[in-house]
Amino acid sequence: MPGTLYVVATPIGNLEDITLRALRTLREVDLIAAEDTRRTAKLLAHFEIQKPVISLREHNEARETPRLVDRLAGGISIALVTDAGTPTIADPGAHLIAAARAGAIKVVPIPGASAIMTALSGTGLPADRFRFLGFPPPSGQAREQWFDTLVQTPETVVFYEAPHRISRTLTHAAGILGNRQIVVARELTKQFEELVKWHNNVPLQDRGEFAVVVGPAE
């Protein structure tokens, strides 16, 4: 009988945000496929879970997927986890999930933390409709096209950005968005968590992990 692929959300910062169901799943599966094995090892050690962990990241997912699907088909149950939050949301895992489903293998999502939803819930901005734009491309025409999409999207927008580009991205965004609100969420659920309304030319701490929420066009 084929095994099951569990898509398990893990904390984005505070380890207390992991769900009881996620913990039970990690304890019961035969194998854990992780984006960053070292980070996952720390999570497992904190909760005293001992399971074999293999790497499944952006650069090896295509190569490893057939092997994992074979193991699933042979009856092995696998938990897919990312560095933090929900797998496949601006993180690897979609290729494996699609291949498992194509092979008639059961896929079970285990919901939990998401930086998108956490950021949205703390802004007070409308969230009945919103669009997630992932990470802006670092440079070139793709980056300009991404900003065009941002401007042309009338509803609330959420995106991520790297620390070393956050100031440049916010300055560009503020210059083209008019009076739309921009709320910056930094280090969500961690000790130095911040949720601040951002204005152009305001100094910003450029350390940590960032989610940015842009209010809808008026």
Confidence of residue 200 (pLDDT cuts 50, 70, 90): confident
- Whether the CB-CB separation of 10 and 81 falls below 8 Å is answered with yes
Measure the CA–CA gap between 146 and 152, rounded to whole angstroms.
10
Name the average pLDDT for the chain. Answer: 95
Confidence of residue 207 (pLDDT cuts 50, 70, 90): confident
Q: What percentage of residues in the chain have a pLDDT greater than 70?
A: 100
Residue 201 has pLDDT above 80, yes or no: no
**Residue 109 forms beta bridges with which residues?**
7
Q: How far apart are the first and last CA of the chain?
A: 55
Q: Pseudo-torsion of CA 112, 113, 114, 120, nearest 10°?
A: 110
Which pLDDT value is given to residue 4?
Answer: 98
88-139: per-residue pLDDT in tens? 998 999 999 999 999 999 999 999 999 999 999 999 999 999 999 999 999 9
